[in-house]
């Protein structure tokens, strides 16, 4: 018996600002998009409490609520939003063949990849416990809340040093915690850190526990427990915010071998566009953006991807 395929004009893989915005634009263009939300519906913003820097929310909004608003807007224009995730793709020819975890097989005229990227964490139970209560992986998203307070950044590469120098403009004191005795960041970034008075680098230490207070209604970081990487000596620092600067991993594993990526797994797109090397496949949001990683930039590229998909279909269908 021949395998049955569901035919879709525009398949959007992943939710979050990029995926939902792509869905709004694709739906309004009568592309009848189908969107699979992925393993983390709403993306990284669902782990964020207060979002104060997204236009249109003058009083701020909680991350999960904002993603629910995005989803409802996409559904208002009849986007078919589905729970679950894509397990397999075949981009070798168009229409593209795709399989989902619900067992459905889809053939899609266009595909928009909006699977995002996941912040790397240390893997500490206490780190998980205080997510949204002082533990963050985005200084530009959450740094404002620590104005005049003490914070720590973990890492030694460009990401960590950039986060630390950004936070130094807001916080009273920034501890940059690195497990080695020298930074991996570029010389220019290192110079910035060394020349910033309120950044203190704690060399040769690993974070072994995030300290904090927790009640039925609130949780907040109060410090961190560190261990010297050579002597094993334990010490504690008092902080109000704990930031991870050890990088992000784009969620692109299922696309390996199907599409061009850089050495870190981010999808390559044409300059100022969302087109990938495969005609008819587009990428939007953090899955292609290792630099900005903001909700508003992701939403913008989701808009671009949907418009690019609409134009592509218009061209191929009129050939």
Residues serving a catalytic function are 138, 141-142
Nearest to 164 by CA among 132, 133, 131, 197: 197
Q: Which two tokens stand for residue 1?
A: 């018996």
In DSSP notation, 44-92 reads GGGG-SEE-SSTT-TT-EEHHHHHHHHHHHHHHTT-EEESS-EEEEE-S
Q: What single-letter DSSP state applies at residue 3?
A: P
What are the distances in angstroms from CA 226 to CA 126, 198, 223, 240? 13, 20, 10, 15
Decide if 232 contacts 225 (C-beta within 8 A).
no
Nearest to 6 by CA among 128, 108, 157: 108
Decide if 24 contacts 290 (C-beta within 8 A).
no
Residue 176: CB partners within 8 Å, gap ≥ 6?
Answer: 152, 153, 155, 160, 161, 164, 193, 199, 200, 201, 202
């Amino acid at each position: 018996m021949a395998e049955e395929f569901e035919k879709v004009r525009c398949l959007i893989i992943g939710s979050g600002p990029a995926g939902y915005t792509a869905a709004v634009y694709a739906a309004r263009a009568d592309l009848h998009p189908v969107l699979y939300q992925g393993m983390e519906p709403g993306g990284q913003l669902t782990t964020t409490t207060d979002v104060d820097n997204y236009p249109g929310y003058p009083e701020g909004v909680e991350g999960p609520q904002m993603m629910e608003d995005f989803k409802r807007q996409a559904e208002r224009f009849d986007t078919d939003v589905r729970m679950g995730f894509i397990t397999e793709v075949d981009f070798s020819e168009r229409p593209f063949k795709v399989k989902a975890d619900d067992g459905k097989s889809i053939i899609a005229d266009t595909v928009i990849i909006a699977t995002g990227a996941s912040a790397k964490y240390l893997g500490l139970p206490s780190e998980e416990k205080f997510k949204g209560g002082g533990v963050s992986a985005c200084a530009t998203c959450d740094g404002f809340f620590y104005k005049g307070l003490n914070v720590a950044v973990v890492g030694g590469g460009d990401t960590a040093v950039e986060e630390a120098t950004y936070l130094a403009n807001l916080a009273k004191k920034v501890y940059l915690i690195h497990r080695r005795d020298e930074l991996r960041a570029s010389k220019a970034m290192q110079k910035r850190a060394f020349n910033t008075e309120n950044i203190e680098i704690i060399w040769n230490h690993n974070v072994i526990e995030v300290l904090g207070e927790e009640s039925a209604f609130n949780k907040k970081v109060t410090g961190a427990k560190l261990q010297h990487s050579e002597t094993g000596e334990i010490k504690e620092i008092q902080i109000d915010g704990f930031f991870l600067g050890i990088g992000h991993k784009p969620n692109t594993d299922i696309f390996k071998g199907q599409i061009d990526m850089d050495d870190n797994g981010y999808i390559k797109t044409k300059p100022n566009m969302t087109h990938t090397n495969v005609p008819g496949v587009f990428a939007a949001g953090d899955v292609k953006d290792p630099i900005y990683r903001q909700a508003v930039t992701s939403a913008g590229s989701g808009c671009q991807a949907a418009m690019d998909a609409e134009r592509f279909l218009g061209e191929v269908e009129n050939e």
